[in-house]
């Protein structure tokens, strides 16, 4: 549901929550802040933002692979 703290470090390149928040703001990312001041980012938001929407185009069926019995 939410990114782990390590995943937020990977995206932002920062360990300190204040630096993470600054990076997310500068780069236009949507996030909330928890009671400890750490940014919270929805995993679904990241997937949409990064182009992974779960609705990848399925490959066209290979009808030539079907043998017709006569």
Q: What is the pLDDT of residues 51-60, one digit of tens each?
A: 876 555 456 6
Q: What is the pLDDT of residues 8-46, one digit of tens each?
A: 999 999 999 999 999 999 999 999 999 999 999 999 999
Q: CA–CA separation, 65 vs 61, rounded Å?
A: 9
Q: With contact defined as beta carbons under 8 Å apart, do 47 and 54 qualify?
A: yes
Q: CA–CA separation, 59 vs 46, rounded Å?
A: 25
Map residue 2 onto helix, strand or coil: strand
The pTM of the full predicted model, rounded to 2 decimals, is: 0.72
Q: CA–CA separation, 8 vs 14, rounded Å?
A: 8
């Amino acid at each position: 549901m939410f990114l782990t703290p390590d995943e937020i470090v990977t995206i932002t390149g920062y360990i300190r929550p204040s630096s993470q928040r600054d990076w997310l703001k500068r780069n236009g990312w949507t996030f909330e802040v928890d009671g400890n001041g750490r940014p919270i980012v929805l995993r679904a938001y990241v997937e949409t933002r990064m182009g992974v929407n779960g609705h990848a185009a399925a490959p066209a069926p290979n009808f030539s692979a079907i043998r017709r019995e006569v």
